[in-house]
Amino acid sequence: MTAAAEKYARAVAGILASKLPAELVSEILDYAECFGHQIIGINEKPDRVSTGWGLKYEEMDKEGGGYSDVKVYLIAQIPDFMALHKDTAGRGGLGGGRPGRVRKIVFRLRCRDQGWSSHPEIEMTYQWGRSRIDVEIWRKRETGAGGGDDGGEGADGMYKVGESLVQRNKVALADVLEYEVSWKWDQDKPEDDADDVDLVGRHENNGQFVRELRGGDEIRIFMKAFFSGWECRIERCEVECFWAI
C-alpha cells in the first residue's frame, strides 16, 4: 500500500544517504525500483462503444472513415507531489534531483472486441485493429500560462499534453482478455514500432509518456472504435502509479 511503500523507500534512502554520496542515492533507488506506489484509478463497470452510420467524434478524419465512437472510461490523477520549491515541482530524488518524478505507470485491463469480423485474414490477430483503448494526459493550466502543445483545451481549463495507444483488442475475439501494460520512465519504444504493435497490440515501452507526467495531471482512459461495425468493450481498468521519493 502507498504509505508503507513510501515509508520503506524513505527509510532505505536515509540509510543509503548516511553511507554514500547523496548524488548516488537516487540512482540506487531507481535501479532497485524502490518507489512509492498507489492505485490511482479503477473502474469495474462494464461499458462499450460501437460505431454506426454517423459521425460521432472529431477523430474521424484521422482513421474513422466517417464512423467512430469514443468514450472516456476512467480518469485517474497523478499524486500532487510536494516539492521543496516551485522549480523542483515534479522532480524526483533527494532534494529535487532529476526531472520526472513518476517512474512507472501500469495499466491493467479486461477488454475485448465485438466477436465477429468480415475480414477473416486478420481475425484473432491485432493487425489493423480499430477497437482499442487509448490514454491522454491532461493538465491544469497555470494562471497566465500559454496554450498546450496541441492547443486543445477543455471548458475546465485543462489542456492535453500527450496521448498514446494503450492496447488494441484482438480482432473478432468474443472472449474477454486480460492485459497488463507497464511503461517505465527510462525505457523508450523505437521511433517506428508498427510491426511490434501489430504483433502484440500495444507499445511495449513508452518512457516518453511517463517522463511527461507531473503531479496533478489527469490520465484519461478512452475506449474507441473506428469504421462501421467495430466495437470496443471494457469490463475493468486499473491504473497504478510508481514514483521516486
The pLDDT tens digits for 74-97 are 999 998 876 544 444 444 444 444
Q: What is the rounded average pLDDT of the residues 126-138?
A: 93
Counting residues of the chain whose pLDDT is more than 70, the rounded percentage is 76
pLDDT exceeds cutoff 70 at 27:
yes
**Rounded (5°) CA angle 238-240-243:** 170
pLDDT exceeds cutoff 90 at 68:
no
Torsion angles phi and psi, residue 175, rounded to 5: -80, 140
The Cα–Cα gap between 16 and 48 comes to: 49
CA 102 to chain centre: 12
CA 81 to chain centre: 18
* Alpha-carbon radius of gyration of the chain: 20
- pLDDT of res. 93: 45
Nearest CA-CA partner of 107 in 1, 245, 210: 210
Whether the CB-CB separation of 88 and 96 falls below 8 Å is answered with yes
38-58 confidence digits (pLDDT tens): 999 999 999 999 887 655 555
Give the position of cell 491485432. Answer: 126
User: pLDDT category, 111, cuts 50, 70, 90?
Assistant: very high
The Cα–Cα gap between 187 and 54 comes to: 40
**Contacts for 148 with CB less than 8 Å, ≥ 6 apart:** 139, 141, 159, 160, 161
- pLDDT of res. 84: 44
The Cα–Cα gap between 147 and 125 comes to: 39
Which SS3 state, helix, strand or coil, does residue 27 take? helix
pLDDT exceeds cutoff 60 at 131:
yes
The Cα–Cα gap between 110 and 177 comes to: 6
- pLDDT of res. 24: 76
* Domain assignments of the chain as residue spans, ordered by start: 37-243
Counting residues of the chain whose pLDDT is more than 90, the rounded percentage is 41
